[in-house]
Amino acid sequence: MPRMAIIGAGPAGLSLAYFLKGHRNYETTVFESMPEPGIKPCAWGLITGIEELIPIPKETIISEIKGFRIYLDNKLVFDIRTKNRLGYIIDKPLFLKRLADEVNVEFNSKVIQKGNKFYTNNEILDFDKVIMATGHYSVDKSMSIPAIQYITDYEIDREVVEFYFYSGFLGYAWIFPDREGSKIGIGGYGEVPELKERLKQILKGRVKIFHGARVTDYGIIDDRLDGNYVGEALGAVYAITGEGIRPSIISSKILADSILNGKDFRKEFKKSKLYWTLNWHAKIIKMTREKDPGTVRLSKALLNNDPQLILKFAIGDFNRVDLIKIFGRSLI
Ligand SMILES: Cc1cc2nc3c(=O)[nH]c(=O)nc-3n(C[C@H](O)[C@H](O)[C@H](O)COP(=O)(O)OP(=O)(O)OC[C@H]3O[C@@H](n4cnc5c(N)ncnc54)[C@H](O)[C@@H]3O)c2cc1C
């Protein structure tokens, strides 16, 4: 029976092990450097729909999101409420723990590569296949941006998420509800002191924790479509929103299905809507950086359009016609 080592117990690695579980032909072990899952900073927002692929246990749901507010230069421009659930704020560490309980995980096991061999805790990994689900840690810094976050006791409407955009700044800030209080963060194209300065303007409540990490904005790293990478290590993050949990899980589903059906992952992934939409997000970021550094065109496109259409674009549920409607024919 082929034995598979999956490096990294984030959403990508754990869901890959979960999707392969119970298939007699594969035995997986996940290796995680940390003592428990979910330590990496994250705002824990998850778009609805992913529960069709993987269970989201009730106790891991902090709140159901039914509305969003958009601010431009700290002024409210949209306040949208829907009857439908748009997404969740989940307790990500607990969600990952529940997944970890279902699969075989070795914590406190940092994996190091020397040549074509992998080692953990001074022992060689004797596996038939090694898959990297190592997140942004294994992505070159030039392919990622910084994101920082305060956890405060400021209470926000539990069904609403807030996004803050700025003229002349590519990136955005957020306020998401937490179990208690909220997470107030920002990610974008600037150094951490600049991000902190912007965030100061919307920071509310008593700060309990300040932390940060990088988030990949490159789109899919084509060289890594060899079936040895998954999740953020493959570039599976929506560059405009920084959403990486759901795309990471979907990329793992595509990899698991390719493995189980003996199909070529590169071909299967390239056929997917995920690939196409992730790359469009990355392309728009790249074009904005090169041709629209003041973000004038991007802000106009995002703020002068139907919010429902923008929401579809933001969550990767768009097609070519939607792109033309939002950005104009010249873009495509
Ligand atoms: C501040 C911030 C806020 C964010 N907010 C959101 C959000 O609200 N919603 C959303 O969808 N996305 C968000 N993201 C992005 C999201 O957190 C990631 O894209 C997502 O977690 C990627 O999943 P992954 O499993 O690919 O990688 P990760 O979650 O990074 O997991 C990789 C794991 O691999 C482990 N690892 C790395 N190297 C090794 C090694 N050599 N040996 C052993 N283990 C190793 C790490 O410890 C880690 O546990 C945010 C990111 C940041 C920085």
Contacts with 68 (C-beta within 8 Å, 6 or more apart), sequence order:
78, 80, 86, 160, 161, 162, 163, 311
Per residue in 187-202, pLDDT (tens digit) is 999 999 999 999 999 9
Ligand 1 atom at shortest distance from the alpha carbon of 244: 19
> Can you tell me the distance from the alpha carbon of 212 to that of 233, in angstroms, rounded to the nearest whole number?
18
Q: Is there a domain that residue 109 lies in?
A: yes
With bands split at pLDDT 50, 70 and 90, how would you rate the model's confidence at 26?
Answer: confident
Q: Is there a domain that residue 69 lies in?
A: yes
Per residue in 69-117, pLDDT (tens digit) is 999 899 998 899 999 999 999 999 999 999 999 999 999 999 999 998 9
How much distance in Å is there from the Cα of 304 to the middle of ligand 1? 33
pLDDT of 164 higher than 80: yes
Q: Is 38 in the pocket of ligand 1 (CB under 6 A)?
A: no
Contacts with 42 (C-beta within 8 Å, 6 or more apart), sequence order:
92, 213, 245
> Can you tell me the distance from the alpha carbon of 160 to that of 84, in angstroms, rounded to the nearest whole number?
12
Q: Is there a domain that residue 164 lies in?
A: yes
> Can you tell me the distance from the alpha carbon of 68 to that of 77, in angstroms, rounded to the nearest whole number?
11
Q: What local confidence, expressed as pLDDT, does residue 297 receive?
A: 87
Q: What CATH code is carried by the domain that includes residue 181?
A: 3.50.50.60
Choosing from 42, 143, 221 the residue with most ligand 1 atoms within 8 A of its CB, the one to mutate for a pocket test is 42
Q: What local confidence, expressed as pLDDT, does residue 93 receive?
A: 98
Choosing from 46, 182, 245, 250 the residue with most ligand 1 atoms within 8 A of its CB, the one to mutate for a pocket test is 245
Instruction: Name the residue with the closest Cα to ligand 1, atom 41.
Output: 111
How much distance in Å is there from the Cα of 40 to the middle of ligand 1? 6
> Can you tell me the distance from the alpha carbon of 186 to that of 202, in angstroms, rounded to the nearest whole number?
10
How much distance in Å is there from the Cα of 332 to the middle of ligand 1? 31
Q: Is 43 in the pocket of ligand 1 (CB under 6 A)?
A: yes
Q: Work out the average pLDDT over 133-137.
A: 98
Q: Is 87 in the pocket of ligand 1 (CB under 6 A)?
A: no
Q: Work out the average pLDDT over 27-49.
A: 97
Q: Is there a domain that residue 321 lies in?
A: no
Percent of all residues in the chain with a pLDDT value above 70, rounded to a whole number: 99
With bands split at pLDDT 50, 70 and 90, how would you rate the model's confidence at 298?
Answer: confident
Measured over the CA atoms of residue 222, residue 223, residue 228 and residue 229, the dihedral's sign is negative
Residues 208, 217: contact at Cβ < 8 Å?
Answer: no
Q: Give kind and range of the element (H or E) at residue 66.
A: none
With bands split at pLDDT 50, 70 and 90, how would you rate the model's confidence at 127?
Answer: very high
Q: What local confidence, expressed as pLDDT, does residue 66 receive?
A: 96
pTM of the model: 0.97
Instruction: Name the residue with the closest Cα to ligand 1, atom 18.
Output: 244
In total, how many domains does the chain have? 1
Q: Is 251 in the pocket of ligand 1 (CB under 6 A)?
A: no
Choosing from 117, 215, 274 the residue with most ligand 1 atoms within 8 A of its CB, the one to mutate for a pocket test is 215
Q: Give kind and range of the element (H or E) at residue 298.
A: helix 296-303
Q: What local confidence, expressed as pLDDT, does residue 331 receive?
A: 67
The 3-state DSSP class for residue 287 equals: helix
> Can you tell me the distance from the alpha carbon of 145 to that of 102, in angstroms, rounded to the nearest whole number?
33
Q: Is there a domain that residue 291 lies in?
A: no
Q: Work out the average pLDDT over 62-66.
A: 97
Residues 46, 85: contact at Cβ < 8 Å?
Answer: no
Q: Is there a domain that residue 322 lies in?
A: no
Q: Is 42 in the pocket of ligand 1 (CB under 6 A)?
A: yes
Contacts with 280 (C-beta within 8 Å, 6 or more apart), sequence order:
318, 323
Q: What is the mean pLDDT of the chain?
A: 95
Q: Is there a domain that residue 135 lies in?
A: yes
pLDDT of 311 higher than 70: yes
Beta strands in the chain (DSSP E): 3-7, 27-31, 45-47, 61-65, 67-72, 75-81, 87-90, 105-106, 111-114, 117-120, 123-124, 129-132, 144-152, 160-166, 169-177, 182-188, 207-216
> Can you tell me the distance from the alpha carbon of 202 to that of 206, in angstroms, rounded to the nearest whole number?
13
Q: What local confidence, expressed as pLDDT, does residue 307 receive?
A: 87
> Can you tell me the distance from the alpha carbon of 185 to that of 164, in angstroms, rounded to the nearest whole number?
10
Q: Is there a domain that residue 330 lies in?
A: no
Ligand 1 atom at shortest distance from the alpha carbon of 112: 41
User: What is the domain range of residue 48?
Assistant: 3-275
How much distance in Å is there from the Cα of 42 to the middle of ligand 1? 7
Say how many CA atoms lie within 13 Å of 57 toward its Cβ. 14
Q: What local confidence, expressed as pLDDT, does residue 332 receive?
A: 60
Per residue in 204-257, pLDDT (tens digit) is 999 999 999 999 999 999 999 999 999 999 999 999 999 999 999 999 999 999
How much distance in Å is there from the Cα of 168 to the middle of ligand 1? 28
